[in-house]
Amino acid sequence: MSDRAASTRLAGRIVYLHGFRSSPQSFKARMIAARLAELGLAERFVCPQLPPSPAAALALVEERIAPGPDDVLVGSSLGGFYATCLVERGSCRAVLLNPAVHPARDLRGYVGPQTMYHGGEPFVFEARYIDELAAMAPRGISDPGRYFLIAAKGDELLDWREMVAAYPGVRTRLIEGGDHGLSDFATYLPEVLEFAGIRPA
């Protein structure tokens, strides 16, 4: 069986949700896109540029992409928080990469002028965005089977203990060491794709 034949088990799309100040140019997003292209599934990959407003970011995904039960979200950092919100509101599943668990708390210090990591474009992270984050935060997860958590103990920005505590009972890959950006993401990409239904021949 070829890679292309094995990959057809992916019935829906993989939707990558990038983190704070990031973009579709995230190396993890590009790595997933490249692998799906190798498998002949380039059209199954979606990675929108998310606006700074959390409410607008969720609305964009819900209205323009409308993830359903066959789709898998891959959310990194703040994108992991968004992915959790979307799973709890709908029927999709999600892979969470060092997800932000308490972004309303952690991003208070970033209110004001910011720049994008890729391209350096300026934007303003407004104080009202903190309220949006607090308002949309889920009270918990309803179905652990809809999640796959990848958390690095070496994350320099977020506490892996909070990640594990927020997702009890979910399939978890706990990394000894590592970093917030998961610079060794290539190691875990096969597991991410397997969770989405892409298994080796």
Which H or E element spans position 173? Answer: strand 171-175
- Does the domain made of 3-195 have the CATH classification 3.40.50.1820? yes
pLDDT in tens, 27-54: 999 999 999 999 999 999 999 999 999 9
81-90, 96-105, 161-170, 190-199: least confident range? 190-199
Q: What is the pTM of this model?
A: 0.94
Asked whether the predicted pLDDT for residue 7 surpasses 50, the reply is no
DSSP string, 64-120: II---TT-EEEEETHHHHHHHHHHHHSS-EEEEES--S-HHHHTGGG-EEEE-TTT-
Burial class (CB in 10 A: 0-12, 13-18, 19+), 165: exposed
Return the closest-CA partner of residue 76 out of 158, 16, 32: 16
Measured CA to CA, the distance from residue 201 to residue 199 in angstroms comes to 6
In this predicted structure, the answer to whether residue 6 has a pLDDT above a threshold of 60 is no
Residues written for the chain: 201
